[in-house]
Structure formats: C-alpha cells, structure tokens
Structure 1
C-alpha cells in the first residue's frame, strides 16, 4: 500500500520542479483544502 497521499506526506520541491503554483500565492503554509478552495474562488471572482 502506498503512503503517497498520506496527510503527513509533505514532498519537498525538487530543482527540476517546473510547476506553476503562483495561483497559491497568499496562502499560509499548511493551509487546508477549505482555505485553498476559498482562495481559488476569490481569485476566480476577481
């Protein structure tokens, strides 16, 4: 059984990580699903 999606799994970014996560700017470290959803919904309304 893989633990890749465990709540305690906090992968570190790698040097070759080219993902664009600028849509998450302004969120506090450790934000949960609800905070992320609300943040994205606010950005969408702007």
Structure 2
C-alpha cells in the first residue's frame, strides 16, 4: 500500500480583478509579441 494525498480540490471564489491595461489601448487587435514589445519600448522612451 502506498501513501498518497487525497486530491479533493475545493473551488475557490475569485473576485473579478481590475486590469490596468490602459497602456495597451494603442495596440491593434491581433498584434503579436514583437509589436507589443516595440510599443512598450517606445512608451518607455517618452
């Protein structure tokens, strides 16, 4: 017989979190990682 932990995960109630993604509003829908990285780099330079 082996010792095993019981796996009975209990659902947790998660509150919707507010996302601070306003820095991404200028990025076009469907942009890839490179476009996002370039956009963020440009914002840092400003």
How many matched pairs?
A: 31
Q: Which structure 1 residue ranges, 5 or more long, are not aligned?
A: 1-15
Greater radius of gyration (CA): 2
- TM-score when scaled to structure 1? 0.62
Deviation at 1:25, TM superposition (A): 1.4
Mapped to 2, the partners of 1:17 and 1:25 lie a distance apart of: 18
- TM-score when scaled to structure 2? 0.62
Deviation at 1:17, TM superposition (A): 4.2
Q: Which runs of 4+ in 1 moved over 4 A?
A: none
2:23 alignment partner in structure 1: 23
Q: SS of the counterpart of 1:44?
A: helix
Q: Which structure 2 residue ranges, 5 or more long, are not aligned?
A: 1-15
